[in-house]
Structure 1
């Protein structure tokens, strides 16, 4: 696969209605590796016996819940995107765990656009949220229905930035093996500026980055340059740029999917993510 894949139309389809309606099957609690925060997670299970490969999911800056939650933050008010993806993975034989990083720290409603520099350090995607990801990994490895050496990581926007941090050489597990680290990760429309500025990025697991060409929150050009330079150093990075698509192109809401490039990007990104995790988590 070439480093920079331009995708304009998609030809792969799935029943979004079925996946979006998939119910959360468990609400669970576990400790972040920060040693102080009891996190909330939402589990989507396959309908077949385990142990299953698993996917840890990290939300973006708007948090885990629907904008219509109105003070009720629970499995019922998870955003449609997170329910859709949880169902998507469960239907394909993965146990999916969506992690709420903001709610347990007093920010369940998330943060508005362009508020990055005003957010509290306690929700840092570079320092704190990677510890949440590893806390989720620890929790999953204690479940008998999870294949503990076959766990992947998926994040959106700010959660995608956390994915890059988790896989960075200086992360909690700099040189993971099958028994200690994530096997692979997918980052949807992250900002890549932090890791680009740090230089020398070599992810400790295979990484797929999916970017919107018309993103008005993060720079597609920066992520492409970042991925190209890392790949030249031997990084295991795949990258796709969706021309004409906007930030949050995979949001299943009608307004977002009314834009044809978003629909195409959403469909193709599911295909790529499924193939990527099948390659790295099924073996």
Structure 2
């Protein structure tokens, strides 16, 4: 599908103007859209990797830059204290997308990586959405990539109860040093048991945190790593997992947006 890329900005409230790259079809009726939220390193190519496949499936994308909106430095050193602080960016983007003539306002989803994955899951909580949307419905689907699975219902403000009912996809690497073994499966099982939304998890053997980041491997140190004890985290591209995860995300959104 032929796409037009526009560089846009919108008011996210709280004095924030958030910028992003919006890709819309050059022709055709209003299409479903996916908001893309970056990880702690900022916009680094992961969004573009997935956006290409989403465009081929006929979907609009908007990848936002949450760090630039705050005038912070690029990378993890400049991130806010909590992903809760960037929920305004996500819901501001939802309002913006719904106002675009190329977008079907009833079919807007969200996906994100690491920090953005946390935002993706937190945006599924009704209590998080209501202050930003004034009674309007939230996102129609949530696809989180390696969203630090140990933290939910454990770290302050990261509860996942009272979900909107929109479907959720969680994709993780089994060698992700943020989480103890099995934390991803435990989170998925816990959410499935609550029965508040359709939830599915996919885990990739041998894949680390950031397995879809096609850049040289790097090791970072993060206080949220190793179940909150802090320490080093390897981020290494895993082509097989990245390709499979991209296909899973496209299929997930196509199913969620099906008429």
TM-score (norm 2): 0.81
- Is 1:139 aligned to residue 100 of structure 2? no
Counterpart in the other structure of 1:25: 5
TM-score (norm 1): 0.75
Counterpart in the other structure of 1:48: 27
Deviation string 1:206-226 (CA, Å, 9 cap, x unpaired) is 100001000123445223212
Deviation of 1:260 after TM superposition, in Å, equals 10
Structure-2 change in CA distance of 1:160 and 1:55 (3 Å): same
1:108, 1:200 → 2: CA distance?
Answer: 30
- Is 1:81 aligned to residue 73 of structure 2? no
Counterpart in the other structure of 2:223: none
Trace 1:47-196 onto structure 2 (pairs within 5 A): 47-64=26-43, 79-111=44-76, 120-121=80-81, 124-126=82-84, 128-173=85-130, 180-196=137-153
Deviation of 1:56 after TM superposition, in Å, equals 0.4
The SS at the match of 1:215 is: coil
The CA RMSD over aligned residues, in Å, is 2.8
Higher strand fraction (1 or 2): 2
Preserved CA contact (<8 Å) 2:3 2:55 = no
Structure 1 portions without partners, runs of 5+: 1-21, 65-78, 113-117
Counterpart in the other structure of 1:275: 251
1:200, 1:129 → 2: CA distance?
Answer: 17
Deviation of 1:186 after TM superposition, in Å, equals 0.2
Structure-2 change in CA distance of 1:130 and 1:231 (3 Å): same
- Is 1:214 aligned to residue 150 of structure 2? no
Counterpart in the other structure of 2:161: 201
Structure-2 change in CA distance of 1:236 and 1:173 (3 Å): farther
Structure 2 portions without partners, runs of 5+: 219-234
The runs of 4+ residues in structure 1 deviating greater than 6 Å are: none
Preserved CA contact (<8 Å) 1:24 1:42 = no
Counterpart in the other structure of 2:191: 230
Deviation of 1:181 after TM superposition, in Å, equals 1.2
Preserved CA contact (<8 Å) 1:63 1:108 = no
Preserved CA contact (<8 Å) 1:57 1:153 = yes
Deviation of 1:88 after TM superposition, in Å, equals 2.1
1:38, 1:129 → 2: CA distance?
Answer: 12
1:265, 1:203 → 2: CA distance?
Answer: 28
| Greater RCO structure (CA 8 Å; 6+ sep) | 1
Counterpart in the other structure of 1:12: none
- Is 1:247 aligned to residue 209 of structure 2? yes
